[in-house]
Amino acid sequence: MSAPKKLYIKTYGCQMNVYDSERMAEALGGKGYVETKTPDDADMILLNTCHIREKAAEKVYSELGRFKHLKAEKPDLKIGVAGCVAQAEGEEIIKRQPMVDLVVGPQSYHRLPAMEDAVRSGAKALDTDFPEDDKFDTLKTRAKGKRGPTAFLTVQEGCDKFCAFCVVPYTRGAEVSRPADRVIREAQELVEAGVKEITLLGQNVNAYHGHARGLAGLIWELDKIDGLERIRFTTSHPNDMDDALIEAHGTCDKLMPYLHLPVQSGSDRILKAMNRKHSGESYIRLIERIRAARPDLLLSGDFIVGFPGETEEDFEDTMSLIREVHYGQAYSFKYSTRPGTPAAEKPQLPEDVMNDRLQRLQALLREQQQQTQAAMVGREVKVLFEKAGRETGQMIGKSEYLHAVYAEAPADVLGQVRAVRIVEDSPNSLKGVLL
């Protein structure tokens, strides 16, 4: 029996890419590949790329350059680029880096086995189509075997919002939702493999329409699965937070009290320029409704500073919104151009102005996050323990609010949800005592 081939996947970007990498590994598992944690002994290297961050393509080319010596040492090594940079760059990747053997977009990775056959025969393989065949249907059976207690599950892809700064509609395509019965089947397979918490993923997950009652309907179907203890979802758009989903936050015990709901700016003028189709005021009123349904909700958000045309007054509108809403967690970035998006054609703000605004905004967000962490001290939370800590006898998990919590506990708590009293806070984690 021949030895298995080794596959090394490096994943960039969002949780959806993490999920996609798992499915790529499963697809190639049928071709005799097993995963390895190092590229040095790999027979195939895949870079699963993200196009959201600044200079994403250049970073991929730089990473590919690091593999030149491996390709020289192992001529049979195959190198592939997948994901959103692959979708955006296409043939250009192979032109600039001829050592790349295959390029596959995020909607075509179910075709990897056939592409692997092609590259093993000496051909180059390129597939950046938006195929009519459903990749999830092709990959419908998850690999059997024990899994960790948490898992991502993609239920929706693509986006129809066309925010002026975003490449997602161009790299992931139009909004597509997976049928609810297939999502439920995959969730059941994950639970049978040991998963206790599932995070539903989508570029615009609350626009999910694979169930007659939308994302809320899907959540209530998943709520029926024995052994599934926690449900989360990300990332959402304010305009798609319907009444049923708001109500679910208050009535579904398995739906965790954590919500990532990006606003991007507090300035109505900038929101209009971003093509967000909501106002700062409508966002604030929406948060009030959600918190009325679930008062202990921890809110997370996204912010872009320095969008073309942003004035100091616009920036202060954003700071005012942050002060009013109060975020337990947030992600913030300087605006950076994405070729092909409307905002890329507009005059850019000076770098020093963007740096100054980002520092001030992050200082405020950091203060709010620290206040949220400190307020947890003395409270009892439910922690799903996921792994052992660095110190002997220490276990680490996530609370219902997605805080990292560590506590002294026996190893058999792994995979269990246990009550913990928080006794100490730090910037990035909480210390607790097992009850």
pLDDT at 1: 53
14 annotated binding-site participant: yes
Distance of CA 368 to the CA centre of its chain: 23
Q: Which of 95, 127, 159 is the last residue of a domain?
A: 127
252 annotated binding-site participant: no
Count of domains forming the chain: 4
The model carries a pTM of 0.86
Report yes or no on 73 lying in a domain: yes
248, 151: one domain:
yes
pLDDT at 423: 98
Distance between CA 21 and CA 2 in Å, rounded? 25
pLDDT at 351: 96
82, 153: one domain:
no
H or E element, residue 231: strand 230-234
371, 384: one domain:
no
Report yes or no on 219 lying in a domain: yes
Report yes or no on 326 lying in a domain: yes
Beta bridge partners of 385: 397
Q: Which of 100, 127, 154 is the last residue of a domain?
A: 127
Beta bridge partners of 417: 384
Answer for the pair 11, 17: CB distance below 8 angstroms, yes or no. Answer: yes
pLDDT at 261: 98
Split the chain (435 residues) into runs of 10 and give each run's mean pLDDT. 85 86 89 92 92 74 90 92 87 91 87 91 86 61 76 92 89 89 95 97 95 98 98 96 98 98 98 97 98 98 97 98 98 89 92 97 97 97 95 94 96 96 94 97
Q: Which domain holds residue 225?
A: 141-256
Count the Cβ atoms, other than its own, within 10 Å of residue 167. 22
Beta bridge partners of 304: 333
CATH of the domain at 224: 3.30.750.210
242, 288: one domain:
no
CATH of the domain at 391: 2.40.50
Q: Which of 71, 97, 127 is the last residue of a domain?
A: 127
Report yes or no on 263 lying in a domain: no
